[in-house]
Amino acid sequence: MLTVDDIRAIPLFSTLPDSELEDLAHTSADMRLCAGEFAVHEGGERALYAVLSGKMEVIKTFDGIERTLGWRAPGTIFGEVPLALSSPFPGAYRAAEPSRVMRVDAQRYYQLAAVSPDVATKMGALARERIGGLQGLSAEPPKARVTMVGNRWDADCTRLRQFLARNQISYDWMTPDAPELPSKWPGTCPSDADCPALRLVDGTQLLRPAARELAERLGLQTKPRLAEYDTMIIGGGPAGLAAAVYGASEGLCTVVVEREAPGGQAGTSSRIENYLGFPNGVSGDELASRALQQAKRLGAEILVTRSVERIDAASREIHLDGGDVVRARTLIVATGVTWRRLAVEGFDRFIGKGIYYGAARSEASATHGLDVYLIGGGNSAGQAALYFSNHAREVTLVLRGDALEKSMSRYLVEQIAAKSNVSVRLHAEVVGAYGDTHLTAIDIRDGASATVGRHDCGGLFVFIGADAETGWLPADIALDQRGYVLTGDDVVKAGRWPLSRDPYLLESSVPGIFACGDVRLSPIKRVASAVGEGSMAIAFVHRYLQQAG
């Protein structure tokens, strides 16, 4: 955990008052890197980094060849150029030896620069030295699109913050008692009863808005522009976005319906290490963002905060919540899966108030100096543990099994073993949750000794598997006993195929309705396979439309 003395040792921050140093210690990530581990990759999001110990290598790839551009020693910083230009990192920073690095979020830096001219001047000089002509730019903060006031443990506030983060909308969040609230909220400050309250960049104020109302105010598309499409894709995860990219690029009139935000569960992954074409890994947010931009650029419509209530398989009419009815010549079901709930007494009242299903990355900054726990031993849990280790004091993985290796990829197991503040409790399970307005403690049963111990808990994140949520599909679409959509040969084996021709590989029991990604019955659940199936589904859509005339 960062201390005031750690930060004061950085020349850039040495003249700051103790109050600012203490705030930085509570809001900045404390990254402990092994040799060869990256603090930030080329193209990574802007932030300010300071080297506390060790040695960082600055690298960049030119024409496929990696070159070393320089080094960063203890006391030095990096990130001044991305902050000055509001651009991604032009190069990568990798630990040449075991190193400790402090990371300050971009928005937090801009707040600091606004009240500490000395910091802004030093940053401007450093940026000018390395690029030239950038004096003063590093102190000009970009305006957040949304200012939000709400209590941390308000479930509605949590949902809206996650919605904004998942849709990559920049926002400032303050609690009603924040001292800076009067200066950032013109006029009468909102009361607790009004929260969460939001103020948009154009001055519009919204009190406790629904996600769809907020999406519309922000200019996100929520309504279809046409009455009929060549193909409608239900679900905006990797499979759905891949189908949108290939469908739109091949001239199909394409629309995607997503009930929350593009990216699906993969969008919450802090880093996907084994996806082809990204040798340094890629975050789920970044992958989803690139795919979304690509799909939109090619002409696909992406509807957010909308869900499908009913499908008429015969007429191909899709009834959306809110009353809209759209017709689609073909349909691709790519709804993925939903996190499985844990049946433990007390859990339900703490959901969004300290207990989260999946990796709520927007909550990471609130775990500084706290002990957090993750339930599960799969890759999603491993990725989340590594992400939270840069913020929390201690991260503990709790699982019933006897070894991580049985359920987690080797590269994640090795990275977790190298983290000093990540531990694993085997043969264990969480059996109780406690707190008043929010979660403060949990009970863990040790399987070997059959004893139960209580532990302070600043956040509990649950990864115990997922289930297909397909009860809304019409009975015409065949499912297996667990609710996964049958396709191809599985439809024939179930005796549900109505035509003389064989079904296409991803075709359901209703000709012209396809399924891809995690919602489809298949033993393979990977981002790469979902993307592959999404693109394959479009090939089958073309063949179906050609035969249908």
| Same domain, residue pair 333 and 476 | yes
> Are residues 405 and 531 located together in one domain of the fold?
no
Residue 134 clears pLDDT 50, i.e. is over it: no
Task: Select from 108, 139, 170 the last residue of a domain.
Answer: 139
Once rounded to an integer, what is the mean pLDDT over residues 51-75? 85
CB 463, CB 358: distance < 8 Å: yes
Q: What are the tokens at 263?
A: 């990216």
- C-alpha 12/C-alpha 309 separation (Å) is 55
Is the pLDDT at 91 greater than 50? The verdict is yes
Determine the pLDDT at residue 133.
40
- Answer with the residue of higher pLDDT: 61 or 534: 534
CATH code of residue 449: 3.50.50.60
Q: How many residues does the chain have?
A: 549
Range of the domain at 364: 348-464
Percent residues over pLDDT 70 in the chain: 96
pLDDT of residue 549: 67
For the whole model, what pTM was predicted? 0.79
**Alpha-carbon torsion (229, 235, 241, 242), positive or negative:** negative
Contacts for 164 with CB less than 8 Å, ≥ 6 apart? 146, 148, 171, 214
Helix, strand or coil, per DSSP, at residue 240: helix
76 class by beta-carbon count within 10 Å (0-12 exposed, 13-18 middle, 19+ buried): middle
pLDDT at 139 over 60: no
Q: Given this model, what pLDDT does residue 440 score?
A: 94
Quick check: helix, strand or coil at residue 188?
coil
Same domain (yes/no): 517, 414? no
3-state secondary structure of 181: helix
DSSP single-letter state for residue 342: P
pLDDT, position 138: 45
Confidence of residue 360 (pLDDT cuts 50, 70, 90): low
Residue 547 has pLDDT above 80, yes or no: yes
Instruction: Report pLDDT for 65.
Output: 59
8 plus 154 within the same structural domain: no
Let me know if residue 100 belongs to a domain.
yes
Reported as a single tens digit per residue, the pLDDT across 180-238 is 898 889 888 898 889 999 999 889 999 999 999 999 999 999 999 999 999 999 999 99
140 pLDDT higher than 60 = no
Beta bridge partners of 424: 397
Q: Same domain, yes or no, for 114 and 11? A: yes
Distance CA 503, CA 526 (A): 24
Within a domain: 389: yes
Same domain (yes/no): 122, 232: no
Q: How many domains does the chain have?
A: 4
301, pLDDT greater than 80: yes
* Residues 369/26, Cβ–Cβ less than 8 Å: yes
Q: What is the per-residue pLDDT for 88?
A: 87
Average pLDDT, the chain: 90
Residue 389 has pLDDT above 90, yes or no: yes
Of 109, 139, 169, which residue sits at a domain end? Answer: 139
Q: Tell me how far apart the alpha carbons of residues 92 and 37 are, in angstroms, rounded to a whole number.
A: 11
Q: Are residues 380 and 334 part of one domain?
A: no
Pick from 150, 144, 258: which is nearest to 201 by CA? 144
Residue 185 falls within a domain, yes or no?
Answer: yes
Angle 536-477-255 from CA coordinates, rounded to 5°: 50
Q: What pLDDT was estimated at residue 319? A: 97
In 399-458, beta strands by DSSP E: 422-425, 428-435, 439-446, 452-456
End-to-end Cα spacing for the chain: 65
Pairing of strands 325-333, 317-320: antiparallel
* Structural tokens at position 17: 């008052």
pLDDT of residue 62: 63
**Is residue 10, in this structure, part of any structural domain at all?**
yes
What pLDDT is recorded for position 84? 86
If we measure between CA atoms, which residue out of 204, 386, 282 comes closest to residue 40? 282
In this structure, are 175 and 284 located in the same domain? no
Same domain, 334 and 479: yes
Contact predicate 387/284, CB 8 Å: no
Is residue 302's pLDDT more than 60? Answer: yes
Q: Are residues 455 and 490 in the same domain?
A: no
User: Residue 251 class from Cβ within 10 Å (0-12 exposed, 13-18 middle, 19+ buried)?
Assistant: exposed
Give percent helix, percent strand, percent coil of the chain, each to the nearest 5: 30, 25, 40
Q: Give the containing element (helix H, strand E) for 375.
A: strand 371-375
CATH of the domain at 166: 3.40.30
User: Domain for residue 215, yes or no?
Assistant: no
Residues 153 and 99 in one domain: no
Nearest to 85 by CA among 122, 143, 131: 131
Tell which of 105, 124, 139 closes a domain. 139
pLDDT, tens digit, for every residue of 307-321? 999 999 999 999 999
Residue 221 lies in a domain: no
pLDDT in tens, 513-540: 999 999 999 988 888 899 999 999 999 9
Amino acid present at 216:
E
Inform me whether the pLDDT recorded for 359 exceeds 50: yes
pLDDT score, position 87: 85
Asked if 97 and 23 sit in the same domain, the reply is yes
Mean pLDDT of 50-69: 83
Segment holding 50, helix H or strand E: strand 47-53
- Whether residue 343 is contained in a domain is answered as no
What pLDDT score does 85 carry? 84
Indicate which CATH number applies to the domain containing 88. 2.60.120.10
Domain assignment present for residue 108? The answer is yes
Residue 363 has pLDDT above 80, yes or no: no
How high is the pLDDT of residue 188? 87
Distances (CA, A) of 17 to 11, 75, 368, 475: 13, 18, 21, 66
